[in-house]
Amino acid sequence: MKLPCLKNYISLNLFIIYIFIYSLLLDTMFLKIFFGCWYDVETYETCILMGIFVVTYILSFPGSFYPRSGTANGRIDDGSSSLIALRRPFVYFGRQYNQIYVNNNGHLTFDAAWGRFVPYRFPGNASRDLIAPFWTDLDNRQNGQVLYNQYTTGSVLQRATQDINTYFPDLNFVANWVFVATWYEVAYYSTSGTRTTFQAVLISGGQYSFVLMNYGTIAQTSRSVQAGYDTISSRHYFSIPGSFSSTATGSNSVFRQGSNVNVPGRWAFRTDSGTRGCNVSGTAFSAGLAEYISFSKLHDLNSYFYLQASYT
């Protein structure tokens, strides 16, 4: 019998839990070293609690990131990728795109590379479709990587399918294409040595498309940051609460601690709809949906799903 590839079934987190339990069973010194329990920790119970804490901490954050791999952008301030041909079309609010650019300043554009480093507030009423997980003046010349990859088969598609069906039930969604752009430990301008990590995951399948934004360590800065997405003439947009505020960055970044899908550090959006307007609790709103929904409501999973279901 051929064993399945473990890589497809055991994530890093599960592997760490496995090592932890295995070490517990053997009562080895390895456990004590691995989980930081040295000779001055008196009780075995303390050791176990520390181990659980470490595992919980690991599970609570890095696991939400998709694989960081692929082609790296050049180390150019305000630079961009070359034109990236998409292996499947991506529908973005009624427009179908077959190409994309990953820009070093924390955004993605479709028609052309874009080096703008000073963000404008969403809705910008501009002539550009824009996905901006973390738009500010970043600089990868000295440290940090801007990477992108796309997938049409394999475990990444399975993971995307599972994530989307969790966040957007009743669509029977099946992903056939995933595009991952990662800004890994990138500095703020200019070669500041700071390290900020975040990710945009574009997911497509059938008539549906989605964008996930994942936030890791967000270094402190006084620069303005806009996170979210915008469209041509801002017919659709979303500004993640905390954008342009002092709470956007630092160890308590609201992007990292908040979520609209009950997963701290992750934000999920359906992005295929080309219709305008929506209804929230029976009240008609114009396209400026985001401005009318409080952060606390977005935190509530049920009302989030209600909003998704009400979007007409």
* Tokens representing residue 296 in the block: 């606390």
Length of the chain: 312
Nearest to Ca ion of 78, 300 (CB atom): 78
Contacts of residue 264, Cβ cutoff 8 Å, sequence gap at least 6: 60, 61, 256, 257, 258
Nearest to Ca ion of 73, 105 (CB atom): 105
Give the count of residues interacting with Ca ion (CB under 5 A). 7
Answer yes or no whether residue 189 interacts with Ca ion by CB under 5 A. yes
* Tokens representing residue 20 in the block: 């932890």
Answer yes or no whether residue 134 interacts with Ca ion by CB under 5 A. no
Answer yes or no whether residue 107 interacts with Ca ion by CB under 5 A. no
Nearest to Ca ion of 192, 310 (CB atom): 192
Torsion sign, CA atoms 26, 29, 33, 36 = positive
What φ, ψ does residue 196 adopt, rounded to 5°?
-125, 135
Answer yes or no whether residue 137 interacts with Ca ion by CB under 5 A. yes
Shortest CB 139 distance to Ca ion, Å: 5
Answer yes or no whether residue 77 interacts with Ca ion by CB under 5 A. yes
Nearest to Ca ion of 105, 209 (CB atom): 105
Answer yes or no whether residue 117 interacts with Ca ion by CB under 5 A. yes
The DSSP output letter for 166 is: H
Report the C-alpha gap between 192 and 187 in whole angstroms: 6
Shortest CB 8 distance to Ca ion, Å: 37
Peptide bond between residue 123 and the one before it cis (omega within 30 degrees of 0)? yes
Report the C-alpha gap between 170 and 38 in whole angstroms: 50
Shortest CB 215 distance to Ca ion, Å: 19
Answer yes or no whether residue 78 interacts with Ca ion by CB under 5 A. yes
Shortest CB 137 distance to Ca ion, Å: 4
CB 183 within 8 A of CB 134: yes
Shortest CB 105 distance to Ca ion, Å: 5
Nearest to Ca ion of 132, 261 (CB atom): 132
Shortest CB 78 distance to Ca ion, Å: 4
**Residue carrying the six token digits 């496995």:** 18
Binding residues for Ca ion (CB under 5 A): 77-78, 105, 117, 137, 139, 189
